[in-house]
Structure 1
């Protein structure tokens, strides 16, 4: 999708966000994306109103929920997974009204203290910050872990690893988790990393942690690390269990192992998600 089509497609979203920015004069956005009730939308931190909070979703019907403004996901991707990945990785395409964006996975509950830390990073003019991986320190280790956990097709991982090795990407070059990210996405260098990251996800594995460190290395962009890891004892945020984890794990398995990433199982995944919703409504 070229830049002109993206601009036209998202004009309504840009107007909504521009109006909000004009009213509140905020240049920082905290955002997430949730589809098919895979996660529960947790409340925004109490008493911290310096940022604007947006959740992109096609399945949450309210305009506002738990302090978040709900906006329809603008991505043209068919897969719910890629819809969320698209807005996650490309804030410069969808959120150009803002200088900084703070991405949080739907399973993450932020604290006011953590956002104060982030605000301090912005004051210090940091441009990109991640969370260190809690276990692994290498993209190649991550590739093997995805293979063992059946989260990706073996052939896809093998091709991706081969590309990185042939390009000279070193082992033990660090590994980040992408559940929480701060980016100054108005910076050209950050946009170039995100464009390359998205290109890798489209041409290789959809597992975004497999490619982000390679893309940072390829574009010679240095990054900083937040305190702690994406574990339950992080003082800045809490990581909850996914509501639809069992269903999603079956989806990832069938997509990767049976249908080899062709999204053939996606309609059944959506139908099961709606069946779950109907069951919940019946109980009410």
Structure 2
């Protein structure tokens, strides 16, 4: 099996963090708009990808959302990792504990909220995006009949099965929703998954893990503040 972990640092928003543990048999790729040096990560120029997107935050998010368009063919499994994270675990050991064969994607449950509508209000409260954009997005979801308390995921790190057509369809739908709404990518994920589940008889096989256990207690993937800010998100 050919495996890759890739991160993305656009417009100097984060510093590239070498893993404390490097797992043999994995490729480590960092997509950026400038050459970054590392003893572990292979630097890949983003070259303006995704095409037509200028906002650095959106460019970074779309690189991970559209994993099947970002990565070259030939990989069987990928881990997407935000640039604010450091790897402190053997990736094969992590998969053995948190990944089940036949899964399309593994992702963390949000540690504080279980509802996209509540998350949207928090985004506005913390001034993480334009309130008008967020409120318009939530009103659109409400008009479509999207229920409250349908779950919420944290997208800092995701494990993705590269050959899954179910996942490609879901991520294409997520990309469309993301482009139409807030630059906070987790606001559009659960709605996109809900839409996809309603549209197909073959829904996504998703595996959720505990955010606090993986990120805060065991720090298998360690969260750092973004460069030049006090923000963790």
TM-score range, shorter chain: 0.7 to 0.9
2:188 to 200, 211, 214: 211
Q: Find the aligned partners of 2:209 and 2:39 in 1 and give their Cα distance.
A: 26
2:64 to 88, 93, 102: 88
Deviation at 1:147, TM superposition (A): 1.0
Q: Secondary structure at the match of 2:21?
A: coil
1:68 to 41, 46, 68: 41
Determine if contact 2:99/2:106 at 8 Å carries over to the other structure.
no
Alignment of 1:201-280 (within 5 A): 201-220=178-197, 221-229=204-212, 231-245=215-229
The structure with the larger Rg is 1
Alignment of 1:179-218 (within 5 A): 179-218=156-195
Q: Find the aligned partners of 1:187 and 1:217 in 2 and give their Cα distance.
A: 18
Q: CA-to-partner distance for each residue in 1:246-274, whole Å, 9 max, x for gaps?
A: 5x89xx9xxxxxxxxxxxxxxxxxxxxxx
1:79 to 55, 66, 71: 55
Q: Find the aligned partners of 2:159 and 2:14 in 1 and give their Cα distance.
A: 21
Higher strand share: 2
Q: Find the aligned partners of 1:45 and 1:51 in 2 and give their Cα distance.
A: 14
Q: Find the aligned partners of 1:46 and 1:91 in 2 and give their Cα distance.
A: 24
Q: Find the aligned partners of 2:34 and 2:156 in 1 and give their Cα distance.
A: 21
Deviation at 1:142, TM superposition (A): 0.5
> Larger relative CO (CA 8 A, sep 6+): 1 or 2?
2
TM-align CA RMSD: 2.3
Determine if contact 1:114/1:236 at 8 Å carries over to the other structure.
no
TM-score by length of 1: 0.71
